[in-house]
Amino acid sequence: MSNLKKKLPKWAAVLLGRNKGYKGGRGGVGAGSESFTELVTLDSEITREQQKSFSSAWKPVWYTGWHTGVLACATSVVVVLIINIGLTIYAATNPKYKMQGGIGMLYSGSCDKSKMIGLWLHLGINALSTLLLSGSNYTRQCLAAPTRSEIDGAHGRRLWMDIGVPSIRNLFRIKLERTMLWIAIGITSIPLHLLYNSAVYTSLATNEILIAFVTNNHFESGGYSNTTGPDDWFQWKAMNTTTRKPYGALGYQTDSHHIKLFGSMLEGYNTGTEGYEDLTPSQCANLYSTDFVSDRRNLFLITNYTADPTYNNTFLRVDWNGGLRPPSSWMCARYPQTSFRCDPNWLNSRVASGHPWLVNFEKRGVGEVLGCKSERVAEKCKVQFSLEIMIAVICCNLVKACCMVIAVVRSREPTLVTLGDAIDSFLRIPDRTTMGICFADRQFIETEWMRGSRARPRQWKQKGIQRWWSSVSKTRWIACSFFCSIAIIITGVLLEKGIGQDRKLMSTDIKSLGFGKVNSVSLVTIRFQNITQAILLANLPQSILSFLYLIYNSLFTCMLVGYEWSLFSHHHRTLRVTSPRPGQRSTYWLQIPYTYAIPLMTLSGLIHWLASQSMFLARVEMSDPFGRPRPAGASITSVGYSCIAIIFVLTLGILALLVVVGMGYKQFAAETATVGSCSAAISAACHALEAESEGIIGKKVRWGDVEIVPNLGVRHLTFSSEEGVKKPVFGEVYAGVA
């Protein structure tokens, strides 16, 4: 006991010498008027010494701790900015493709290659957006971290601030400049998540088709002599777009090779073999049963009919398939249906298994398709980008980068970013407003301390080790559970409707539809006035997921704060601070270690990418049967969805929610006061008994039972570097040092 007294600071020695005012039991901790006067005098001296020590000890250390982290975030944001600017300039000035209406082209050609390019570009975009989101979250947490003077001001008004976690509470109690930077970084994240994924999109190309049914001798030598003339459908579709004259009319002119080719084929002149390919019925049904036919066009179906003098021609009729109706619906148009509903996929599988492909004509009856001639064309799928969206993304990216650089340059006063920063500060300069409540938890701070209740000895009633969830406030748990549950329920309802619509209009298994694949069925039933509306709806899930990720991330942060705090009750540890001194550890992460941060970032990026494949901009450009672009109104600009991708998103979302709940059931390392991120509770636990300035700093410390005067029953819970620190005793009465 004598050794302990020698190490006590003056104010603690005075307290022990004047402790006759202590009443014990449930009474308050008090002192006579003489001790009070002496304590006030000593307190003023100590305050002056501590302020002097504070100004020398807390000199700004640039580019260490959180400054290094924010500088790294700013660097990553600048790199993303350079990438965005470089790609935009390259795409906008590429002489191979011209900008039209603010839409540029990155690639035009094979649909498979365009899909692959779009897939990798979206993976890259989601990786960059995840980098931006993580950097923004890191910087905003640092900006919202309080300085010691801001905490002292709040505690003087009986208010508390968050330490070590993302906080909105702190915004009302920190400097206005940091608050404005925090808001600016947050606001610029909204357009990024709403627009970034649709800055680059894939446009499919599909062709309208003329299907000519001909007799089996139509292409034989001399068969054309029975041809009576072109069909009305062909005459109408081949109309001269300038003079509006139909094919075959007097003065009709065309320079379209495809019109001339199809006309000669239709009239029975077998001159189109270089553009048409002979196929079996099975091959033909397979190629044309897809949603959007991009590498094929007009088709001649050769039936088992033979031309005879009665009908006096070798072609039976020409059908047209185009517009916004299901592209392969023509396959069932002339199938002799009975009591079942014909489906192109069913017909395709039936023909592939060797069954005849039957067609029905009113006058000739039922015939069979023996073969076909299919027109081969080059694909015109595109990978496009919106210059306006990219400019908006670049502007937000630029503002975000500037804010992060300003945060590094302007934030000169040390802030308490980590739990170790707060412990170090409160051990060096004890906070008088929290004396006497050595094991106050967040609940005690909110129910008694904030209401001005006097400090008094209290019993330690905590029995057993607490769990991680206790370090998270009820507000955060309720907010996360509510918003995640609402998102999961809404997603489940929309998934059910989507599956119902897909099954209603097609018999194909949803797994075969793939991720992010546009088809004629999986489209939202909303009519969009322009592409901007479709983009905003397609990217709305991205913004929602970013919001949910921030809430989800804050839960892990709070639980890990509680876990780190509990380690100080388990064994002696060095302090992990942003600006280390001898005997302290430095840190390049805030409160979430890399073992948690990297999986969380990976999960965020994966869910964002899956969301981009679940709801996406669906743009299909149509060409008429002769390769001429159709008017904009005939093309598809909508929002597509993929049920299988939504299932993956839903599964990952439920799994993520179960993981955070399971993590909440983990036990802390030892029994401790549940301070959470509450600055007042942390301060109350940091009234040490060792030398007032340097005695405890730089050493390994442990929080626990430190005995003051056993005979009087006064015990204390605080940090100490001594080996005799014990865990709190159930039912024992503890009081602070004042």
**Whole-number pLDDT of residue 154:** 92
Please give the distance of CA 345 from its chain centroid, rounded to a whole number. 36
Size (the chain), residues: 738
Give, in degrees to the nearest 5, the angle at Cα 437 between 433 and 442: 90
- Contact by Cβ (8 Å): 423, 575: yes
Q: Which residues contact 315 (CB under 8 A, 6 or more apart)?
A: 212, 213, 214, 215, 218, 227, 231, 266, 268
- Dihedral angle sign, alpha carbons of residues 146, 150, 151, 154: negative
E-strand ranges in 377-468 read 381-386, 458-459
pTM here is 0.74
DSSP 19: G
Task: Report residue 287 as tokens.
Answer: 């190629």
Tens-place pLDDT, residues 461-509: 877 778 888 888 888 899 988 999 999 999 999 888 888 877 765 555 5
What does each C-alpha distance from 223 to 226, 230, 269, 313 come to in angstroms?
A: 6, 15, 9, 9
Tens-place pLDDT, residues 570-609: 888 888 888 888 888 777 667 788 888 889 888 888 898 8
Mean pLDDT of the chain: 78
In whole angstroms, give the CA distance from residue 369 to residue 515.
Answer: 35
In whole angstroms, give the CA distance from residue 391 to residue 388.
Answer: 5
Amino acid letter for position 578: T
DSSP 117-155: HHHHHHHHHHHHHHHHHHHHHHHHHHHHSPBHHHHHHHH
**Whole-number pLDDT of residue 273:** 62
Tens-place pLDDT, residues 206-248: 888 888 888 887 777 665 555 555 666 677 777 777 777 777 6
E-strand ranges in 238-364 read 276-279, 296-303, 315-321, 358-361
Q: List the domain boundaries for the chain.
A: 2-57+688-734, 204-382
Radius of gyration of the chain (CA): 38
**Whole-number pLDDT of residue 482:** 92
Largest CA distance in the chain: 132
DSSP 162: B
pLDDT tier for residue 182 given thresholds of 50, 70 and 90: very high
What does each C-alpha distance from 207 to 279, 290, 292, 626 come to in angstroms?
A: 19, 12, 7, 9
**Long-range CB contacts (< 8 A, 24+ apart) of 650-658?**
650/488, 650/491, 650/492, 650/495, 652/603, 652/606, 652/607, 652/610, 653/484, 653/487, 653/488, 653/491, 653/607, 654/488, 656/552, 656/603, 656/607, 657/481, 657/484, 657/485, 657/488
Q: Which residues contact 541 (CB under 8 A, 6 or more apart)?
A: 611, 614, 615
CB atoms within 10 A of CB 653: 22
Give, in degrees to the nearest 5, the angle at Cα 556 between 554 and 561: 95
pLDDT tier for residue 51 given thresholds of 50, 70 and 90: very low
